[in-house]
Structure 1
Amino acid sequence: MAKDGVDAKRDRGESAGRQTVDPPALRRGDWGQSGGQGRAEMAADVVAALVAQAEPGARLGTKDELRARCGVSVGTFNETLRLLQARALVTVKPGPGGGLFAAEQSPMVRLGHSVLALDAGASDVSEAVRIRNALDPLLIEDALWHASPADIQDMRRPLREMEDAAHAEDPDAFIRANWRLHARIAAVSPNTLLRSLYLSLLDLVEEHTLSVRPDGESPLSEHIRDRCRLHTALIDALDKRDRDEAMRLIAEHTTAREGPAD
């Protein structure tokens, strides 16, 4: 009987040895070895690599399958999923046959040396951007006449946010701080129609923008630093009531970006 017990234990051990389990893509010892990235960000990189190899609309797997592949907890994978959706990399479909799918190609609008990735409902964004660009000089004219020292001080707040984002090389934070700056400039205008039209166009562009991406031709970090310097010079010109310099800069601002919305 004792022998039988030993044999049973040996058989169970051999059976366990024959089982093979795919190791998780990320093991606990790997955390913290990617330049300070958190678990959710590292898991997002794993899924993003799958997206890069898949056709748009291709099924990547269920949430549980991908979570197991990443080797993270349910809570961490929920944060990973939020990051992936914010970057417009995946879509989630519920029910049988559902799961995570590689996102369909987003429509794009060129932004200087970058592009705005837009959601599927953004067919009129390009026209909104074109009209908004045409209104910029009118708002700068109004700001030259009507901006108070307090207004200028308020404009420098989003400008500092742009500088912080440029230093952090965060293009999404940069463009949204930039839009806040332009909204603050527009708020100075006494022309209710002009102001409301401009802000509505700005809201439309921001609402449909998913992310800012490199255009594949020039470093995006260099572009946003240049745009930051241009906007700083523009606010300085408004502060000094230097009309020639302000109008030169807004003309450079519009032509340099080749149409879109920074």
Structure 2
Amino acid sequence: MVNAEPLTRAQALAADIESMIADQGLGPGDLIGTMDDFRDRSGYGRATISEAARLLNDRGAVEIRPGRGGGLFVARSNPIVRLRHTLLTVRKMPTTVADAIAVREALEPLIAADAARHRTKKDISDLRKLLTGLKRATGGTDRFMRANWALHERIAEISPNHLAKAVYLSMTRCIGDLAAHAGPDDAARTGDYLRLRLDVHIELVEAIVAGDVARTAAAVERHHAPS
């Protein structure tokens, strides 16, 4: 049996800080501590503390705020956290994934509104078929994610805005390439969770089919909300 490599000091400190957040019941926006606080508590130098902060920031666990009144704060909802709520985990290049999600989410209201305004009978038929596929895929995360990507890509194809569509599809594929499907033992990946995500997508499709732009915007907002 091959033994796992020992944690670096920065990795160990990052793990301690994550435990501190849980033990103290800290929530989004709460101050965890300043650089000086962590130096006094751990005895580590500034370089080690900075590396631990970077690791936690890349995971989406903390926000780093410089200057007076700054320090480490519990992260608010951000792209990496939301990624974990879409049945994916970051495999590599987490900052790049976060940037891709941010761009994709910024474009999604425009893409969805365009779909509501411009959907044709053929588009509606295709969306309903893909939604049926999503319903049938709730038995497993891999199948569900493949069906989920296919549905969103088809929605994007409706938009007459070729530049927005191209960027949106590129970001979607970037996320897929740099992230992996979450493991089946993650509590958020239960059948109930998949059904909840299915309901979100049913409403999105129905709003687009109805041609109701305001309803579609609300559905997109619900789609982005952490579950």
TM-score relative to the length of structure 2? 0.60
Over 3 Å counting, the alpha-carbon distance change for 1:203 and 1:56 in structure 2 is farther
Rounded to whole Å, the distance in 2 between the matches of 1:118 and 1:162 is 23
Letter in 2 for 1:158: L
Over 3 Å counting, the alpha-carbon distance change for 1:145 and 1:160 in structure 2 is same
RMSD, aligned CA: 2.7
Secondary structure of the 2:4 match is: coil
More helix by share: 2
Gaps in structure 2 of 5+ consecutive residues: 7-58, 61-79
Q: 2:163 aligns with which of 190, 193, 196?
A: 193
Deviations 1:109-141 (A, max 9, x none): 433646523333554011101110111110111
How many residue pairs were aligned? Answer: 155
Gaps in structure 1 of 5+ consecutive residues: 1-49, 58-106, 258-262
Letter in 2 for 1:191: N
Rounded to whole Å, the distance in 2 between the matches of 1:153 and 1:118 is 34
Report how far residue 216 of structure 1 moved: 4.7
Identity %: 30
Report how far residue 242 of structure 1 moved: 2.1
Deviations 1:197-232 (A, max 9, x none): 000000101112222236855453211111111111
Runs of 4+ in 1 over 6 A off after TM superposition: none
Deviations 1:54-103 (A, max 9, x none): 6369xxxxxxxxxxxxxxxxxxxxxxxxxxxxxxxxxxxxxxxxxxxxxx
Answer yes or no: is 1:212 the counterpart of 2:151. Answer: no
Over 3 Å counting, the alpha-carbon distance change for 1:192 and 1:113 in structure 2 is closer
Rounded to whole Å, the distance in 1 between the matches of 2:147 and 2:223 is 16
Q: What residue is the counterpart of 1:155 in the other structure? A: 127
Deviations 1:165-193 (A, max 9, x none): 11x2x112111211111111111111111
Q: What residue is the counterpart of 1:227 in the other structure? A: 197
Q: What residue is the counterpart of 1:136 in the other structure? A: 108
Rounded to whole Å, the distance in 2 between the matches of 1:56 and 1:203 is 33
Over 3 Å counting, the alpha-carbon distance change for 1:123 and 1:215 in structure 2 is farther
Q: What residue is the counterpart of 1:76 in the other structure? A: none
Over 3 Å counting, the alpha-carbon distance change for 1:149 and 1:256 in structure 2 is farther
Over 3 Å counting, the alpha-carbon distance change for 1:156 and 1:212 in structure 2 is farther
Over 3 Å counting, the alpha-carbon distance change for 1:215 and 1:146 in structure 2 is farther
Over 3 Å counting, the alpha-carbon distance change for 1:218 and 1:153 in structure 2 is same
Answer yes or no: is 1:117 the counterpart of 2:89. Answer: yes
Rounded to whole Å, the distance in 1 between the matches of 2:160 and 2:146 is 24
Q: Give 1 or 2 for the bigger CA radius of gyration.
A: 1
Report how far residue 244 of structure 1 moved: 2.4
Answer yes or no: is 1:242 the counterpart of 2:191. Answer: no
Answer yes or no: is 1:55 the counterpart of 2:10. Answer: no
